[in-house]
Structure 1
Amino acid sequence: MNKKTALITGAAKGIGKRTAYALAQVGFNMTINYCSSRHEAEQLANELQEKFGVSTIVVSGDITKPEDCRQIVARTEEQFGSVDVLIHNAGPFIKERKKMEEYDDSEWQYIVNGNLNSAFYLSKLTLPGMRKKHWGRIITFGFDRVETAPGWIYRSAFAASKTGLASLTRTIALEEAENGITANMICPGDITGDWKEKEIHEAMGVKDDTVPVGRPGTGEDIARLVAFLCSEQSDFITGAIIPVTGGKDVLGKVFYE
């Protein structure tokens, strides 16, 4: 990739961490953003530099706050010149199942800011540099069938913000196509716990009857698609919303658990 630079939000753990490995493996320098996991972020940065010979920096920041987004992008541009790839991985999620009327104002605002408004903040900040190079990649994350604006019981704030993000992602794809910039959304399935950082070979042979393909999903299932969409040859893919679910009905699982 001729040492292009990726900014990955929430990259210290989980799918973000596995994505950082996938992009470093194909030669991306990167900014590893974290909010509270400083030790994990620094450890990851060192591992990527040692294994793949790429340059990395770690930058703390809460992406729900515009001022923190400005600082994250400024640090990246100071170190690397520009952001070529924005991976909008971080996104708050309330695990507790609760109906819409049970959310208080601060919870609702936190979820919407973290999943939708933050994508606006960061995209607006990084697009000028991408336009100058006439090249860029923006990748967001959603949930299965998000493009149909489905209802998701007990997940109103998350579902509403991700549905808005799907529309925003496709709008950016249309507006920036003439500038050599693509924007796509990946929709992970029910990838939980330690599986978020595992590789595909670790899931082979592990039986999961809740997934039609028969095995658990892993962080690598998502990360390998991120790397593919970030390649030079993927410039014809934009505005896509791609499910990576193993066929599982994530929205309906509450009814048959």
Structure 2
Amino acid sequence: MSVRLELPPTFGQVLAKSTRSQVGMWISSGSTINAKICAGSGPDWVLIDGEHSPLSLESIQAQLQAVAPYPATPVVRLPVNDTVLIKQYLDLGAQNLLIPMVNTADEAAKAVAATRYPPEGVRGVGSALARAARWNRVENYLTKSNDEYVSVIVQIESAQAVENVKEICATPGVDGIFIGPSDLAASMGLIGQQAHPDVVANIKKTIAAARDAGIPVGINAFDPKLAHGYIDEGTDFILVQADVAILARQSEALATTFIPIQQGEEQAGKPGEERASY
């Protein structure tokens, strides 16, 4: 007897039903164990990052498999807005894609087209070979995929994108926009100054455009004060930490707590000085 499977709701569908900001975290280490720990810790969603992380197609699929048993919705970020890569990411089972550096409505339309089967788009047909359709165990995957099984979020992370944000938000098939304050600040000549008033002004302009278009808007904010502020302002989804950042900061805190500075200096010793053995 043939097994029939159902796919989980897309991130776009989750956002449409949510009455509060969906809080998530990055999975950037490439570790499936870290992915399991993060997805099982209680966030609403997790971002599997293929742009700034050492992830291949195989390891992204492994990450998706690792987080699948948990309630957190997985979103996968591509390294680039590329039609072939989008097809591959979808086929390996990524339902929710975050497309970086989308600066114009044409670029947004290109991303959407890559996720749709013809005639609405240009996605190649290979469902019998792909985890996306669970190797054709998802009934009517080909006819339902365009409308039900894929969610597209595009990143607004440059001054050019902010200029074109209304047109990007109005692009059919764009399920939401995500603001990248770090790259936005850099594009404005304010690298490392995500809280600069001019950057914040562009962020607010982008949020307002999404509100006017009636689509969800999200943002990245590792600073708790900024994160709480964006949540209070009503952003629909947010990333507040990353697995690698948590490990870096918490391991530093452990070292600071248990290794006093004076002891560290003593352990370093002077040139030629023999250390005591305890």
Task: Give the structure-2-normalised TM-score.
Answer: 0.36
Give 1 or 2 for the bigger CA radius of gyration.
2
